Amino acid sequence: MVETLTLSSLWNLVVSPHGLYLIGYAWLFGMSLWVSFFGGVIAFKTLPRQQFGNLQHRTFPIYFVLSIGLSSSLLALWTASHPDVITHITRPNVADVAQAYALAYVLLAQGFNYFVIGPLTSKTMFQRHKLEKEEGKVYNEPGVSDEMKAVNRRFGTLHGISSLANLGSFIALTFHGLWLGNAGVKGH
C-alpha cells in the first residue's frame, strides 16, 4: 500500500515519541563522533597548544552538558517505553535492559567528566601554563622543574581518564545505535 503524506501525517511525525527519540539519539551520537574523532583533532593540528587548550576548556563543558541532557532524556524515554527495563533491571542480558545500561553509562561517564575530571584537568592545564611562563620553558622541554614533571603526570592521568570515559560513551552509543538499526525504537 502506498502511503500519502498529509498535513496530519506530517504533524504526527513532529510529535512522534519514536521520531523524537531517534533525533535525540542522532544528535548525541553525531556530536560524540565529531567531538571525539574530528573536531578535537582538527583543532589540535591547527591551533597553537595553549589556544587549543583554551578552546577545549570552553568546548568540553558544553559538550558534556548536552551529553548529560540528551542521554538522560533518552534513558527516561527508553525506560518509559520499555517496561522490561524496570521488571528486569538486574538482568543486563535482557536486551532492553542492556540498552538502558548503555545509556546510563553515557550519562554517568559524561557526568563524571563534567563534574569531576573536566574541572581537575582544566585546573591542571592552567597550572602548567603558569609554570611554563614562570620557568620560561615549554612543558616537554628538557630541564623542566620537578613540579612541572608532576603537573605533566597529573595532566596526562586526568586526560587519559577523561578520554577513556568519553571513548566508553562512544562505544555504548554505537552499541545502542546498532540495536536501534536492527530492532528499532520499539524493539522486538
CA distance 140 to 171: 32
What number is the average pLDDT over the span 112-139? Answer: 96
Residue 168: band (very low, low, confident or very high) from pLDDT cuts 50, 70, 90: very high
Residues 27-39 have pLDDT tens digits of: 999 999 999 999 9
Question: What predicted TM-score, i.e. pTM, was given to this entire model?
Answer: 0.93
Closest CA to 67 of 123, 14, 115: 115
- Report CA-CA distances (Å) from 39 to 44, 58, 155, 160, 167: 9, 13, 21, 18, 15
- Report CA-CA distances (Å) from 4 to 1, 7, 115: 10, 10, 49
**Within 13 A of 97's CA, how many CA atoms are on the CB side?**
11
**Average pLDDT of the residues of the chain:** 96
Q: Are 121 and 164 in contact (CB under 8 A)?
A: no
